[in-house]
């Protein structure tokens, strides 16, 4: 699904953000059209701060509720996905089983916090955003992330995923969207996955990121990717 200029659903943010990507993938999996209006979070306009007091992206506007002002907006990726699921319930992207539902919410939270901090600040900021700002990449910090910060998280994820096709239950869900939105940060920054140490995570990432909803987002970001692969 590509963005549209005739939809009620507007996403404010930048396509490089894993949290914007999470919402765009969610919309694509629902086959819902959207408009992406880019906002520079490092220098946001005043009107955006009214919509997102925490100064974070994405923000969703539903024009069927209001076309301007705070009304009709939500300023958190998890809140946005929960809203979209309630308003557009098919296909379901949250498990129906109570335990699987809780497990999916946990993995979403884990990905949005612990994994996001390590990959976001350790790779996206140091290897890609720095270049966009005319600065040299912080290779020392990226290597510390790779060798010290990520291994405990990937050890946990390897155990949590096992050999399952999806993170929770037998169907693609918000857990997969949240996890792969963060894991895709390594693909975008050309950071290799240690397939020998975490074969389950590597296979999982390859499988989920091959879905059109993710593959299309990554293709759009190709011009921003580093020219050379990161060497740990």
pTM over 0.85: yes
Q: Report if residue 215 sits inside a domain.
A: yes
Same domain, 216 and 136: yes
Confidence category of residue 1, pLDDT binned at 50, 70, 90: very low
Among 65, 87, 109, identify where a domain stops: 87
Q: What CATH number should be reported for the domain holding residue 162?
A: 1.20.1050.10
Residues of the domain holding 117: 98-224
How would you classify residue 169: left for phi > 0, otherwise alpha for psi between -120 and 50, otherwise beta?
left
- % pLDDT > 90, the chain: 84
Total tally of structural domains belonging to the chain: 2
Task: Report the mean per-residue pLDDT for the chain.
Answer: 93
Residue by residue, what is the 3-state secondary structure of the chain? Answer: CCCCCCCCEEEECCCCCHHHHHHHHHHHHCCCCCEEECCCCCCCCHHHHHHCCCCCCCEEEECCCCCCCCCCEECCHHHHHHHHHHHCCCCCCCCCCHHHHHHHHHHHHHHHHHHHHHHHHHHHHHHHHHHHCCCCCCHHHHHHHHHHHHHHHHHHHHHHHCCCCCCCCCCCCHHHHHHHHHHHHHHHCCCCCCCCCCHHHHHHHHHHHCCHHHHHHHHHHHHHCCCCCCCC
Q: Report if residue 3 sits inside a domain.
A: no
Q: Report if residue 4 sits inside a domain.
A: no
Residue 4 has pLDDT above 70, yes or no: no
| 82-88 average pLDDT score | 98
Same domain, 143 and 214: yes
Q: What CATH number should be reported for the domain holding residue 55?
A: 3.40.30.10
Same domain, 70 and 102: no
Same domain, 65 and 166: no
Query: Alpha-carbon distance 66 to 71, whole Å?
Result: 6
Among 64, 87, 110, identify where a domain stops: 87
Same domain, 132 and 44: no
Q: Report if residue 32 sits inside a domain.
A: yes
Between CA 60 and CA 95, with CA 12 as vertex, the angle to 5 degrees is 40
Residue 159 confidence (pLDDT): 97
Q: Report if residue 38 sits inside a domain.
A: yes
Same domain, 119 and 74: no
Residue 129 confidence (pLDDT): 74
Among 87, 116, 145, identify where a domain stops: 87
> pLDDT tens-digit profile of 191-217?
999 999 999 999 999 999 999 999 999
Residue 2 confidence (pLDDT): 42
Residue 136 confidence (pLDDT): 84
Residue 6 confidence (pLDDT): 66
Query: Alpha-carbon distance 36 to 2, whole Å?
Result: 10
Q: Report if residue 231 sits inside a domain.
A: no
- In terms of average pLDDT, the best of 12-16, 44-48, 78-82, 225-229 is 78-82
Residue 31 has pLDDT above 80, yes or no: yes
């Amino acid at each position: 699904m590509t963005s549209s200029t005739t939809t009620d659903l507007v996403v404010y943010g930048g396509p490089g953000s894993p949290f914007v990507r999470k919402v765009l993938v969610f919309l694509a999996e629902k086959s819902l059209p959207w408009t992406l209006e880019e906002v520079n979070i490092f220098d946001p306009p005043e009107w955006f701060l009214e919509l997102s007091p925490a100064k974070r992206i994405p923000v969703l506007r539903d024009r069927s509720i209001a076309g301007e002002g705070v009304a009709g907006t939500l300023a958190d990726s998890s809140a946005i996905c929960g809203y979209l699921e309630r308003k557009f319930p098919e296909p379901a992207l949250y498990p129906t089983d109570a335990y699987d539902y809780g497990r999916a919410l946990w993995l979403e939270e884990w990905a949005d916090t612990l994994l996001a901090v390590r990959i976001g600040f350790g790779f996206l900021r140091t290897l890609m955003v720095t270049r966009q700002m005319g600065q040299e990449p912080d290779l020392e910090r990226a290597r510390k992330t790779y060798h010290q910060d990520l291994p405990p998280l990937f050890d946990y994820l390897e155990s949590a995923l096992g050999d399952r096709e999806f993170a929770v239950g037998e169907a693609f869900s918000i857990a997969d969207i949240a996890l792969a939105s963060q894991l895709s940060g390594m693909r975008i920054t050309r950071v290799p996955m240690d397939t020998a140490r975490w074969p389950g995570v590597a296979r999982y990432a390859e499988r989920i990121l091959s879905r059109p909803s993710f593959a299309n987002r990554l293709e759009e970001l190709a011009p921003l990717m580093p020219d050379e692969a990161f060497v740990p």
